[in-house]
Each structure stands twice: as C-alpha cells, then as structure tokens.
C-alpha cells in the first residue's frame, strides 16, 4: 500500500493527524486556485474551508486511480462555482461590447509577470469573465463543459472568454511595457 493510500485510509478512519497532513499537503496550492476566482483573500479562504470540508466528506468516493491532487482540485472548482451561483452573481456582465467578439488577439511575447501578478489581473476581470477564463485557460475545461457547469449558452461562454482574453492581453502588455521601462531605467 502506497503512502498516499495509507494516508487516505487513516483519514477515512477519522484520524485527525492524518486529516491535517492531507490538508497541509494540498492547502497551499488549493488556496492559489481559490484566490484566482475570488475577490479577496478572506473570500478565498472561505472557499478553501468549504472545499476541504467537502473533500473530507467525500473522500470515500475517491477511487484511488487518478491523481489525488487533481481530484481535490476538481472538488475545489465545483465548490467555487456553487459558491458563486449561491451568491447569485451575474455571470453575464451588462457592458457587452460586441466589437470584442470579432477580434482575435495574437500574443506571442513572453509574460514577464509573476503568478501572483497574473492572478491579480484575473481577479480584476468581471466575475463572469474571470470564471470562464480560469475554467478554460487554466483548468482546461472545454467551452461546452463550462456552459453545462454554469447553465449558460456555449456561445456566451465563448464570447465571455474572448473578452476576458483580450482584456488580459491588453493589461499584460501594459504591465510588460511598464516592467521593461523600469528595467531600462534601472540599467541606466
């Protein structure tokens, strides 16, 4: 029996030490996931708490075949989506700009920002945009899957994703330019 299987067995037996060990092993990375979807660190911690309660509640359903981290991450993402739905936050923002839908923004340059800085930019997006962008670009869900998860049209998902993407590219380019300028000034 692998260490992970042994740990899961202990957790299922109600061993608090094992529960803490499992939590410690995944909490940091899962808070990173929650942080991208939420508006503040306190919100992200609330989501993390809710997600881990569900992880412990449903751990017996984990078959042990896939990666445990990926399984926990899926539960976290579902928790986040439910939380956003519960708060009845409109997923479709009002200021729709149809012009964006017809643009394909190319981006081939290197991103000079850190993960936290990128996360901050994603958090600046309207809730619906940020959610769709996170689910597609980072979690890897297809547009159709996202549409089913959020109960919205696939076209709406696609459109929101494009807008989020364009907005982020604009912001990242701006930040990159600012960083380059600082580097040049520092070099002088």
Only segment of 60-68, 74-82, 101-109, 149-157 that touches other proteins (CB under 8 A): 101-109
Q: Residue 23 interacts with other proteins (CB under 8 A)?
A: yes
Interface with other proteins, residue 154, by CB under 8 A: no
Coil, strand, or helix at residue 86? Answer: helix
* Closest CA relative to residue 107, chosen from 175, 158, 182, 179: 175
The neighbour count for residue 10, using CB atoms within 10 Å, is 16
Q: Dihedral sign, CA of 153, 158, 164, 166?
A: negative
In angstroms, the Cα distances linking 186 to 34, 56, 109, 112, 118 are 35, 50, 22, 16, 23
Name which position in 9, 39, 57, 74 contacts other proteins (CB under 8 A).
Answer: 57
Query: Does residue 106 bind other proteins (CB under 8 A)?
Result: yes
Q: Is 48 an interacting residue with respect to other proteins (CB under 8 A)?
A: yes
Number of alpha helices (DSSP H) and beta strands (DSSP E) in the chain: 9, 0
Is the CB of 56 or the CB of 62 nearer to other proteins?
A: 56
Stretch binding other proteins (CB under 8 A), from 41-49, 71-79, 144-152, 178-186: 41-49
Backbone torsions φ then ψ of 10, nearest 5 degrees: -65, -40
- Binding residues for other proteins, rule: CB under 8 A, are 14, 16, 19-20, 23, 27-29, 31-32, 35-36, 41-42, 44-46, 48-49, 52-53, 56-57, 104-108, 110-111, 113-116, 118-119, 136-138, 140, 165, 168-169
């Amino acid at each position: 029996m692998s260490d992970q299987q042994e740990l899961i067995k202990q957790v299922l037996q109600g061993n608090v030490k094992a529960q803490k060990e499992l939590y410690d092993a995944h909490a940091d990375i899962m808070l990173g996931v929650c942080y991208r979807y939420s508006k503040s660190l306190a919100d992200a911690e609330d989501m993390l708490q809710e997600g881990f309660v569900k992880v412990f509640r449903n751990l017996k359903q984990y078959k042990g075949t896939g990666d445990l981290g990926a399984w926990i991450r899926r539960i976290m993402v579902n928790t986040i989506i439910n939380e956003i739905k519960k708060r009845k936050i409109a997923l479709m923002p009002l200021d729709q700009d149809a012009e964006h839908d017809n643009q394909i923004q190319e981006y081939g340059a290197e991103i000079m920002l850190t993960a936290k800085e990128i996360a901050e930019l994603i958090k600046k997006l309207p809730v619906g945009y940020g959610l769709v962008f996170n689910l597609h670009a980072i979690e890897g869900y297809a547009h159709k899957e996202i549409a089913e998860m959020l109960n919205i049209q696939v076209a709406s998902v696609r459109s929101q994703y494009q807008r989020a993407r364009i907005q982020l590219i604009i912001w990242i380019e701006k930040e990159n330019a600012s960083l380059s300028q600082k580097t040049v000034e520092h070099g002088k």
